[in-house]
Structures are given as structure tokens and as C-alpha cells.
Amino acid sequence: MGVVYEAEDSKLGRRVALKFLADELIHDPNAVLRLRREARTASALNHPNICTIYEIDESDGKIFIAMELMEGETLRELISSKPLALESVLRLGSQIADGLDAAHSRGIVHRDIKPANIFVTICGQAKIMDFGLAKLFWEERPNRLTAVSTLPTAGIAEAHLTSPGATVGTLAYMSTEQVRGLELDARTDLFSFGVVLYEMATGSLPFRGQTSGLILESILNRNPVSAMSLNPAVSLDLDRVIQKSLEKDRELRYQTASELRADLRRIKRDIDAGTSQSDSSQASISPSGSSRHLSAQGLPIVNRQPLRFLLIALQLMYLVFYLVALDRFEDIHRLAQILIPGSGWGLPMVVLVTAGIGIAARLYLLSSITFDHPQLGTKFRQLYFLLLPLDQLWALSSLLLVTRIGLGLAFGAMAALLYCPFAQRTLVRMAYPVASPATLKSGGGI
């Protein structure tokens, strides 16, 4: 790990940042040689989205790099476990991709792309830092690489950081080929950048686990939850870009940073065009000046947690309703004999069967909402046409209480129960938005 100081270049009269080599590596000739080589390579990169290295020198026996002094914060600090605005994700993402493209065109692979190695200046410009430092600890042995992480990642468990002696790069941001110890090329940076994009868009990592082994297993074998499911503000197109960046097979992944950058810029252009076209209509709808932000599905962007609590409360209400009805099963039988003489157990059996179906469906929804199933929106749409007639039928059962609560309250309860399925559908659509078939064909949002 390096130590950075602010200093002034007395010859040129400019402020610079000095990064000193860690004490334990000062007398390592191989480390010094590799650092000099990497510093020379990185200093050849002159790009607005790459931190400029001025020189490598030595003072009092300590080797250091003189580089551009930047004011702002790292992307790690900017994210702080919360998603960034969609505009920021696209703007910063395009800049980072631009910097990677410049480096890759010179044959330089970063190998440790992560939010801690990306700086965002006070002007909102992204700068990639620490190019080539991952090579500093590279052991030229087949299938064995030594870990490096120049900066930790705040808010992430230690298991998600570098595991010494295992792999190059920071564990949670490593590509599948890094995990497997394969020969690396520029596409490994694009996978790591996909992880960064996912974290920018959702505030969380795509591959998680309690131990290093579980994280590695997730990177190799598990597909991350869709970014759209975690943040409704993420557009369908951006979600596709992230998913393509995180392809485990690098032949199916983005092949160049320029290709990824073009897609990000295209999404930003389309969103900007849509925003400008809707400005006048939004102004007429909201004369007070307040804006109503919409997700990619055309629904208001709201906090999902209260919606989930309401949905859980609805499922519990229905379960209690079914259980009470079953508890009064004998009363229902007697009432059926009064209303429809000679009907026998026909009506009670209908109640029994529908209650069984309803309880099973509500338990499924309750567990899915409780554990925040990412595909609940799609599953609910499939169940909705089964639940709607079932709920409408059960709403009529409130009339059985006419003798106890009166006709007015019985009709009020029936109206409320008739309304509940539609309210539930709206809550699910807001909390778990999904794209319609027409949208999937056009690539847009609902």
C-alpha cells in the first residue's frame, strides 16, 4: 500500500501528489525495476480521464511517483453503498470507458479496476488511477498470481477485498479469467468495469459472499440480480449493458472499451432527448416547479421498503381472512342450506377449495416479498389472472356478515375487498417493475 502526500514542484511551480512505495518494498530490486517500467508506461498516457504521472524519483532512499494532484473524492466515497443518479452513472461511466480505451490502445491493462482506483474531481470528471500497479506484484508463474489491492473499498466486508496469495486484483471486482488464473487481456478490465457500473447503479456488489470462496464461486457460477430489480431508475438498456459487461465468457462480453462507451453514450443521448421533449409537459402538470421522476418502466421512483411492508400486510390480511372463513366452515354450511335449500355441501366445498388455493398463493407471495425475490414482478403478472377472480369471489363473502355488522358496513367491506387486488397490482408494479413484450422488442421502457 502506498502513502500519498501533497507537495509542490519547485521547478515548475505546480502542486503535485507524491506516492511513496511501501516500506517493505523499498529494497526489493525487482519491485523497484517493475515500478519504474510501469511508471514509464503510464506516464506515456495523456488522457483527461487518466491520472497523469509526471515522473518517478527517489528521495532519502525512498522511491516515489510524482503525479497529478486532484481535488474531489474517489468513486468509492461517492457511492458509499447507495446508487448514483442515472445521469451520473452514464456520464462517469462514459468517461471511465474512454480512459480504459486510451490505455488499452497502448497495450496497457489495468487489472485492478474498482471504485477506490477511480477519482471524481470537483468538476465531475472521472480519472483512473494506479495503472500498472497490479503488475508490481505479478509473479511470473503459471496459474499462480499474487494479490494486490492498493486501496480498500469502504463499506464492504473484508472478504470482498483482496485475499493475499490468491489472485491479482480486488476480489469482488475480479473477472472470471482472473479467478481461473488464465492469461489476461483488456477484456478483464471490462468485466471489472461492469462490476463498478453495477455498484454505481445499485449501491451494492453483484457478487457477494461471507467468505472469499463464496465470492469466487459467485463470480464463476452465479448470475447477479438484475440492476433494474434493485433500482427502478435503471433503464432497460443500461441493465443490458451491465449484463453484457458481466458475461462470464469473455468471448460474449464487450470486446473493446470503445464499444461499451458507445452504448453508454447512446443511452445518455436517448434519455437526454426524452427529457428535453417532456420538459414542457412536465411543467404544465407541475406548475409549482416540483418534478415527478419516472423509472424506466414509466412508474414513479419511490422507496421500495414501504411498498414491501404494505404488500406483506395485504398478504397477511388475506391469510387471516381465509383462516377465519375456514374456522366458520359449519356456519357457511348452515347458511348455504338457508340460501340454497338442498345444495348440500356444494357451496362449503367451493369455499374450501378456493381457500386452499388462496392460502397457497398468499404464502408464495408472502415469502417472495419477504425475501425480495428479484423476479416477483414477472411471477405476480402470471398469478394475477388467477388471483383476481378468486379475490373478487371472496369479496362477496362479506355479505355473510350482514346480520352482525349491518348492510352498510357489509357493502363497505365488500367494496374494500374488491379494490384490494387492484391496489396490490399497483404496489407490485411500483416495487418490482418489469418490461412489457413491446418494450423488449423496441429496447425502451414501459
Q: Are residues 116 and 243 in the same domain?
A: yes
Residue 271, pLDDT score = 85
Domain membership flag for residue 374: yes
Domain-ending residue, one of 51, 68, 85: 68
Q: Are residues 44 and 173 in the same domain?
A: no
DSSP string, 317-348: HHHHHHHHHHHTHHHHHHHHHHHSTT-TTHHH
* pLDDT, tens digit (0-9, with 9 covering 90-100), for 141-175: 333 333 333 334 444 444 444 443 334 447 899 99
Pick from 147, 121, 117, 120: nearest CA to 130 = 117
Domain membership flag for residue 56: yes
Q: Are residues 353 and 226 in the same domain?
A: no
* pLDDT, tens digit (0-9, with 9 covering 90-100), for 254-293: 999 999 999 999 999 988 887 544 444 444 434 434 334 4
Give the residue carrying C-alpha cell 348492510.
407
Q: Are 164 and 156 in contact (CB under 8 A)?
A: no
Most confidently predicted of 26-35, 55-64, 220-229: 220-229
What's the average model confidence in pLDDT over 103-116? 89
Of 32-46, 132-146, 306-320, the least confident: 132-146
Pick from 354, 334, 353: nearest CA to 343 = 334
Domain membership flag for residue 371: yes
Share of the chain above pLDDT 90, in %: 28
Q: Are residues 118 and 206 in the same domain?
A: yes
Q: Are residues 318 and 262 in the same domain?
A: no
Domain membership flag for residue 280: no
Q: Are residues 207 and 145 in the same domain?
A: yes
Residue 142, pLDDT score = 37
Q: Are residues 241 and 119 in the same domain?
A: yes
* pLDDT, tens digit (0-9, with 9 covering 90-100), for 394-442: 777 666 666 667 778 878 878 888 888 888 888 887 777 764 444 434 4
Share of the chain above pLDDT 70, in %: 72
Residue 346, pLDDT score = 61
* CA distance to 137, 188, 327, 376, 391, per residue, from 429 (Å): 49, 36, 33, 9, 18
Residue 372, pLDDT score = 74
Rounded CA separation 282/269 (Å): 19
Domain-ending residue, one of 220, 246, 270: 270
pLDDT at 188 over 90: yes
* pLDDT, tens digit (0-9, with 9 covering 90-100), for 314-370: 888 888 877 777 776 666 666 666 666 666 656 667 777 777 888 888 888 888 888
Average pLDDT over the chain, rounded to whole? 76
Domain count, the chain: 3
CB atoms within 10 A of CB 411: 13
Domain-ending residue, one of 13, 45, 68: 68
Domain membership flag for residue 62: yes
Residue 348, pLDDT score = 65
φ/ψ (deg, to 5) at 126: -85, 140
CB atoms within 10 A of CB 373: 18
pLDDT at 137 over 70: no
Q: Which grid coordinates are listed for 282?
A: 412536465
Domain membership flag for residue 276: no
DSSP annotation of 144: B
Q: Are residues 259 and 127 in the same domain?
A: yes
Q: Are residues 64 and 91 in the same domain?
A: no
Q: Are residues 95 and 242 in the same domain?
A: yes
Domain membership flag for residue 352: yes
Residue 288, pLDDT score = 39
Local confidence band at 244 (pLDDT 50, 70, 90 cut-offs): very high
Active site residues: 112
User: Residue 40: which domain range?
Assistant: 3-68
Domain membership flag for residue 155: yes
Residue 289, pLDDT score = 40
**Chain-centroid distance, C-alpha 335:** 54
Residue 329, pLDDT score = 62
Residue 27, pLDDT score = 75
Write the CATH number for 40: 3.30.200.20
Q: Are 299 and 429 in contact (CB under 8 A)?
A: yes
Q: Are residues 266 and 183 in the same domain?
A: yes
Q: Are residues 174 and 90 in the same domain?
A: yes
Gyration radius of the chain over CA positions: 29
Report yes or no on whether pTM surpasses 0.85: no
Write the CATH number for 80: 1.10.510.10
pLDDT at 63 over 60: yes
What's the average model confidence in pLDDT over 380-390? 80
Local confidence band at 49 (pLDDT 50, 70, 90 cut-offs): very high
Residue 339, pLDDT score = 60
